[in-house]
Amino acid sequence: MSEPSEWQNRIAGEWHGRPSLFDAKGVWCGYEDIRRSSVFEDGRTTYYMDGGLEGGGELAGRFRLGAPFAFGVIDSDSDRVYTGPDFYGTGQPYGGFVDAHYYGPGWQVDLNTWNHNLPDGETQVYSSVLYQGWTVVGCFNGVYKRRGEPPVEFLEAETRNGPVPFILPTKKAGGYEGVCELWGADQKLIGDVTVTLELEPIDLLRTRAHVTWSGALERSYTVEQRRNGTQLFYEGPDAWGNAQAFGRANFTSVHLSTGTAVTKVKGREFMIDATPGMNAGETLAVTYEVFDGGTLSGVVHGVLTWR
């Protein structure tokens, strides 16, 4: 194509991050120092990624880079096709969020990458869940900033905050709220959804959550959340499911039991500003894929703040 896509314009420039590596059980293993860019030139797009792994434990041999990655991209706002040689697959943009599925021969894993460009245009919340077949073997996740030079203070903060586990407030009632965008499965903007997550702690491991979506998509349910280490369990009365956290990122699968309607929500809740200690973080970047039966019907994404 002669002009870059809207998504390509969103991610132009060089991005710096220090995502953390976690094993399949959510145990922190190390850092990945990354500089990456997606360059549109002469009608072609090439994605570059350079950096290295610090630590990694048993996963180090698999995920340490032996050379910078580079791969071609067929640029589009419908399907972005990754043509190798270092990654093969495709990604679908929904406004400021892309859901990508591809294979990396160097890492020998299948990847599901969620990259959420926040409204400030300079911050990305990123995760790649890594698979061997259908089995999760690990996860990279973190925050990226668009900069010409490495943002030293930001990278130092990511070093401190990357291993912090996802834990909701255990003695303080309150809630997260924000206006999110709703995109249809056809990748067209439908409208705004106000998302409210009201939290009522029961004890140190259980919280009653009242979830409300209002606006372009109406949903409301109450669920009791029980935490066991890096895992969450959603145990009724209106929804059932579970979640696995990798550091600050909580990956959810929730089934809503509302009459005859069959709705599943697959999501990621990322505490951007959670720090070591007892600060749960006041900013929650959320992405939810909504399924009616087994069919994707919409994607909700945005930023919630504590109140």
Please choose, from the candidates 58, 11, 6, 63, the residue with its C-alpha nearest in 3D space to the C-alpha of residue 32: 63
111-115, 219-223, 275-279: which range is least confident on average?
A: 275-279
Residue 239 C-beta-side C-alpha neighbours within 13 Å? 27
**Predicted confidence (pLDDT) at residue 279 exceeds the cutoff of 80:** no
Distance CA 300, CA 292 (A): 14
What is the domain class of 174-306 according to CATH?
mainly beta
The string of pLDDT tens digits covering residues 204-219 is 999 999 999 999 999 9
Contacts 24+ apart (CB under 8 A), 71-77: 71/46, 71/47, 72/44, 72/45, 72/46, 72/47, 73/38, 73/45, 73/46, 73/47, 74/45, 75/1, 75/4, 75/5, 75/7, 75/8, 75/40, 75/45, 76/1, 76/5, 77/5, 77/6, 77/7, 77/187
**Predicted confidence (pLDDT) at residue 4 exceeds the cutoff of 90:** no
Residue with tokens 């340490």: 64
Higher pLDDT: 22 or 41? It is: 22
88: how many CB neighbours lie within 10 A of its CB? 15
For position 79, what pLDDT does the model report?
Answer: 93
For position 270, what pLDDT does the model report?
Answer: 98
**Region 38-48: what's the mean pLDDT?**
82
Is 286 within 8 Å of 180 (Cβ atoms)?
Answer: yes
Reported as a pLDDT band with limits 50, 70 and 90, residue 182 is very high
Q: Considering the chain, what is the average pLDDT of its residues?
A: 93
Reported as a pLDDT band with limits 50, 70 and 90, residue 76 is confident
The string of pLDDT tens digits covering residues 78-110 is 999 999 999 999 999 999 999 999 999 999 999
Count the helices and strands in the chain (H runs, E runs): 3, 21
Where does residue 106 rank: exposed (0-12), middle (13-18), buried (19+ CB within 10 A)?
A: middle
**Region 231-241: what's the mean pLDDT?**
96
Reported as a pLDDT band with limits 50, 70 and 90, residue 259 is low
As beta bridge partners, residue 270 has 249, 285
For position 1, what pLDDT does the model report?
Answer: 54
Higher pLDDT: 266 or 257? It is: 266
Distance CA 59, CA 75 (A): 32
Reported as a pLDDT band with limits 50, 70 and 90, residue 59 is very high
Q: What stretch(es) of the chain map to CATH 2.40.128.20?
A: 6-161, 174-306
**Predicted confidence (pLDDT) at residue 114 exceeds the cutoff of 90:** yes
Would you say domain 6-161 falls under CATH 3.65.10.10?
no
For position 185, what pLDDT does the model report?
Answer: 97
